[in-house]
């Protein structure tokens, strides 16, 4: 079937699985990740607004009747306090293998500019609605043995795809997963810049061994799956058609415009894709952030329930999420509906309903942790949010799963006992659970910025690779811990970072760590200094 092509057929006018309520002036659930189990049952995960300074959370819903009705939503994944994903969890991508639901997502600690310098992360759970544990760089979640027994927490996440380009660029993220023959295919967006300032706008592909529980530690980069047609060409969501033996990717193009469309790509090997189909008939205009259903491995079979979805609407942040049934049919050559117009369909708000909780969290602003000195006591508070993101005080909260050698919790009062940190789980009577992070410092600890200085500097990776074909603008950065308990990822001269000791015939490095290759293959070391600390990186320049 290698010479055979396909096209997607949108079978109906669709329905809104989500729309803001009548009293809201904003609200969204974008980028659906849809898992269909048979002709009727499906799970769906969405990126929704966050709160208390966090940009996005993930919500979850389930249907038993082919999408006619869906369960009430609940929030199932949020950022982890004081970590590499502290800003958001965006762009859900769910696949299931080896007994776990894996949910990929995008996040950053660079909150300026609307969220730049993004990385890709992953968490896993035995259940579609959690609780999830995050990949931490050397395993899943965090485990601690205490005199009271074993404690397990979600853990501080480490990226599975780390963006080492210019921190002013959007970065790498928006993952999608497919499993075929025990190989996990990982697709993700790259938006960066070359040394000459030209834009890199691509979908990349990597693979991993799906039989390896710690597969994030052994990801193999496989190159460019597709060049994105423009800055308006959205991320890929990829499935594998068992009927046709092809990988199929859905994206939106000319996103957020009246000329928007669904753009479909196909591949025989999952590594290189070609654009085969452009759809506007029945599709709502101003669409963006689409998703396509597959089964647990993100496969589609002939008799499965097949749903595709996208966010749409002509008012920023006031978006409906529309689902359509689709089919895949044989078609030779490219199919295009560019001569048609997308549907100018207004977002129709849903009737206001009685509030019900979808998430519970501590009422503390980012980076969302409590800090105390030894012997200090602090009152803590919790709030719950409804589906319109209105806030309510959480009552009768109970606490468990914390290190009692470090803190004690009595009612809503935390007492700091010993230097260290611990997470604690807070549970409400209606079954919602939130994880909080509490640091305990020495009784004379100075939290001010007045005399702040670095106390440790760590590398973010071992090697930077620059291909002369792309000549991407790289940036050497380090993770810095400061004396006042704060930390940062930085490569900036204004933070005191300096660069030296490299081969100037191979690369140039400016005062902010921006690194360019000079056109000759080779390898050089670069020393990164901050105060009395140094980190050494290898920079490898190759032709391709």
Q: Indicate the SS3 state at residue 114.
A: helix
Question: Is the four-CA dihedral 387, 392, 398, 403 of positive or negative sign?
Answer: positive
Residues pairing with 360 in the sheet: 384
HEC secondary structure over 158-217: CCCECCCECCCCCEEEEEEEEEECCEEEEEEEEEEEECCCCEEEEEEEEEEECCCCCHHH
Chain-centroid distance, C-alpha 391: 25
Q: Residues with Cβ < 8 Å from 2, sequence gap 6 or more? A: 268
Burial class (CB in 10 A: 0-12, 13-18, 19+), 172: buried
Q: Which domain holds residue 475?
A: 454-542
Question: Does one domain contain both 410 and 434?
Answer: yes
Burial class (CB in 10 A: 0-12, 13-18, 19+), 442: exposed
Chain-centroid distance, C-alpha 174: 6
DSSP character at residue 216: G
446 within domain boundaries: no
Question: Does one domain contain both 260 and 313?
Answer: yes
Q: Indicate the SS3 state at residue 215.
A: helix
Question: Does one domain contain both 211 and 298?
Answer: yes
349 within domain boundaries: no
Question: How far, in Å, CA of 207 to CA of 211, rounded?
Answer: 12
Question: Does one domain contain both 436 and 504?
Answer: no
pLDDT at 364: 87
**What does 268-281 look like in DSSP terms, one character per residue?**
SSSSS-EEEEEE-T
pLDDT at 41: 95
The answer to whether 73 and 128 are in contact (CB under 8 A) is: no
Question: Does one domain contain both 166 and 96?
Answer: yes
- Helix ranges (DSSP H) in 227-277: none
447 within domain boundaries: no
Question: Does one domain contain both 254 and 184?
Answer: yes
347 within domain boundaries: no
Side by side, the strands of the sheet bearing 413-416 are 377-379, 413-416, 407-410
> Domain boundary at 307, 336, 365, which?
336
Question: Does one domain contain both 121 and 162?
Answer: yes
From the list 66, 69, 53, the residue with the least C-alpha distance to 306 is: 66
Question: How far, in Å, CA of 136 to CA of 238, rounded?
Answer: 26
Q: Parallel, antiparallel, or unpaired for β 237-241 and 299-300?
A: parallel
286 within domain boundaries: yes
DSSP character at residue 127: S
| CATH classification of the domain holding 212 | 2.115.10.20
Q: Output the CA torsion 292→298→301→304 (10° steps).
A: -60
- In residues, how long is the chain? 544
> Domain boundary at 390, 411, 441, which?
441
The answer to whether 355 and 43 are in contact (CB under 8 A) is: no
State both tokens at 355. 């509030």
Question: How far, in Å, CA of 94 to CA of 100, rounded?
Answer: 10
Q: Residues with Cβ < 8 Å from 162, sequence gap 6 or more? A: 119, 172, 460, 461
| CATH classification of the domain holding 491 | 2.60.40.1080
At residue 461, φ and ψ (nearest 5 deg) are: -165, 175
Q: Indicate the SS3 state at residue 306.
A: coil
pLDDT in single tens digits along all 544 residues of the chain: 556 789 999 999 999 999 999 999 999 999 999 999 988 999 999 999 999 989 999 999 999 999 999 999 999 999 999 999 999 999 999 999 999 999 999 999 998 767 899 999 999 999 999 999 999 999 999 999 998 889 999 999 999 999 999 999 999 999 999 999 999 999 999 999 999 999 999 999 999 999 999 999 999 999 999 999 777 899 999 999 999 999 999 999 999 999 999 999 999 999 999 999 999 999 999 999 999 999 999 999 988 999 999 999 999 999 999 999 999 999 988 999 999 999 999 999 999 999 999 999 999 877 789 999 999 999 999 999 999 999 999 999 999 999 999 999 999 999 999 999 999 999 999 889 999 999 999 999 999 999 899 999 999 999 999 999 999 999 999 999 999 999 999 999 999 999 999 999 999 999 999 999 999 999 999 999 999 999 999 999 999 8
Q: Residues with Cβ < 8 Å from 50, sequence gap 6 or more? A: 56, 57, 78, 79, 88
From the list 6, 9, 5, the residue with the least C-alpha distance to 324 is: 9
Question: Does one domain contain both 97 and 161?
Answer: yes
448 within domain boundaries: no
100 within domain boundaries: yes
Question: Does one domain contain both 322 and 173?
Answer: yes
Question: How far, in Å, CA of 438 to CA of 485, rounded?
Answer: 12
Question: How far, in Å, CA of 103 to CA of 126, rounded?
Answer: 11
Question: Does one domain contain both 485 and 536?
Answer: yes
Count of structural domains within the chain: 3
pLDDT at 3: 67
Question: Does one domain contain both 271 and 325?
Answer: yes
> Domain boundary at 336, 365, 387, which?
336
Question: Does one domain contain both 95 and 121?
Answer: yes
**What does 484-510 look like in DSSP terms, one character per residue?**
TS-EEEE--GGGTEEEES--TTTEEE-
Q: Kindly report whether the peptide bond that precedes residue 134 is cis, defined as omega within 30 degrees of 0.
A: no
487 within domain boundaries: yes
How many Cβ atoms are within 10 Å of 38's Cβ, its own excluded? 12
């Amino acid at each position: 079937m290698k010479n055979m092509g396909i096209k997607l057929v949108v079978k109906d006018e669709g329905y809104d699985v989500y729309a803001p309520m009548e009293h809201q002036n904003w609200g969204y659930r974008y980028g659906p990740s849809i898992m269909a189990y048979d002709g009727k049952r499906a799970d769906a995960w969405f990126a929704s607004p966050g709160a208390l300074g966090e940009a996005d959370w993930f919500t979850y819903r389930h249907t038993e009747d082919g999408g006619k009705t869906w369960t009430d939503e609940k929030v199932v994944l949020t950022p982890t306090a004081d970590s590499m994903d502290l800003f958001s969890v965006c762009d859900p991508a769910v696949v299931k293998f080896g007994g776990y639901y894996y949910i990929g997502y995008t996040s950053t600690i660079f909150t300026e500019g609307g969220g730049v310098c993004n990385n890709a992360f992953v968490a896993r759970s035995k259940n579609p609605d959690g609780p999830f544990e995050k990949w931490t760089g050397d395993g899943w979640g965090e485990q601690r043995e205490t005199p009271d027994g074993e404690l397990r927490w979600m853990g501080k996440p480490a990226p599975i795809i780390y963006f080492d380009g210019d921190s002013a660029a959007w970065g790498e993220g928006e993952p999608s997963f497919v499993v075929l023959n025990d190989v996990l295919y990982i697709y993700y967006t790259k938006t960066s810049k070359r040394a000459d300032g030209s834009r890199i706008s691509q979908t990349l592909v990597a693979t991993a061994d799906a039989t390896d529980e710690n597969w994030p530690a052994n990801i193999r980069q496989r190159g460019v799956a597709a060049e994105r047609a423009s800055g308006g060409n959205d991320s890929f969501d990829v499935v594998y058609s068992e009927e046709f033996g092809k990988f199929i990717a859905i994206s939106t193009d000319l996103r957020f415009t009246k000329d928007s469309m669904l753009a479909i790509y196909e591949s025989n090997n999952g590594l290189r894709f070609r654009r085969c189909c452009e759809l506007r008939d029945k599709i709502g205009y101003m669409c963006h952030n689409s998703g396509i259903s597959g089964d647990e491995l993100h496969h589609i079979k002939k008799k499965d329930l097949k749903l595709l979805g996208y966010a749409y609407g002509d008012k920023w942040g006031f978006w409906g999420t529309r689902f359509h049934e689709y089919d895949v049919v044989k078609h030779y050559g490219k199919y295009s509906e560019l001569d048609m117009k997308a549907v100018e369909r207004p977002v129709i708000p849903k009737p206001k309903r009685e509030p019900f909780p979808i998430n519970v969290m501590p009422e503390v602003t980012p980076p969302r942790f409590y800090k105390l000195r030894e012997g200090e006591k602090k009152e803590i508070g919790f709030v719950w949010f409804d589906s319109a993101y209105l806030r309510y005080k959480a009552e009768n909260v109970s606490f468990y799963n914390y290190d009692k050698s470090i803190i004690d919790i009595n009612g809503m009062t935390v007492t700091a006992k010993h230097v260290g940190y611990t997470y604690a789980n807070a549970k409400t009577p209606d079954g919602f659970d939130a994880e909080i992070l509490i640091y305990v410092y020495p009784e004379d600890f100075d939290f001010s910025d007045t005399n702040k200085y670095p106390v440790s500097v760590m590398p973010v990776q071992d090697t930077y690779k620059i291909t002369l074909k792309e000549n991407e603008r790289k940036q050497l950065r380090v993770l810095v811990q400061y004396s006042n308990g704060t930390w940062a990822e930085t490569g900036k001269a204004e933070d005191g970072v300096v660069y030296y000791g490299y081969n100037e015939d191979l690369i140039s490095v400016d005062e902010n760590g921006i690194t360019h290759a000079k056109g000759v293959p080779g390898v050089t070391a670069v020393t990164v200094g901050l105060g009395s600390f140094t980190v050494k990186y290898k920079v490898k320049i190759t032709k391709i």
